[in-house]
Amino acid sequence: MLDRLEKRGLVTRLPRPGDRRAVQIELTATGRATADLVTAAMAQIEREAFAGLPADSVESGRAVLRALAGAG
């Protein structure tokens, strides 16, 4: 996966200071811009999916998802 992201110019691998065995992965400017676009698109999808639901129901659903994500 990292190889594909790197080939697309979304991430770069850098030597990790103090540990020659490790590699540090960082988003490139293109990677950051892509992440921003994806985040905005996901926010729009969420707004559309939850449109018309009461705010407390939406928050309850989010709380359940956070709990499930933390349980892994």
pLDDT, tens digit, 9 for 90 and up, residues 10-62: 999 999 989 989 999 999 999 999 999 999 999 999 999 999 999 999 999 88
What is the CB neighbour count within 10 angstroms for residue 45?
A: 10
Please, which contacts does 27-31 make with residues 24 or more away whose CB atoms are closer than 8 Å? 31/5
Instruction: Kindly state the tokens that stand for 4.
Output: 């594909």
- For the cut 90, the answer to whether the pLDDT of residue 71 exceeds it is no
Domains and CATH numbers, the chain: 2-71 (1.10.10.10)
- For the cut 80, the answer to whether the pLDDT of residue 72 exceeds it is no
Q: CA triplet 42, 59, 38: central angle to 5 degrees?
A: 10
Burial of residue 12 (CB within 10 Å: 0-12, 13-18, 19+) is middle
pLDDT value of residue 41 = 98
pLDDT value of residue 56 = 94
CA 30 to the chain's CA centroid: 14
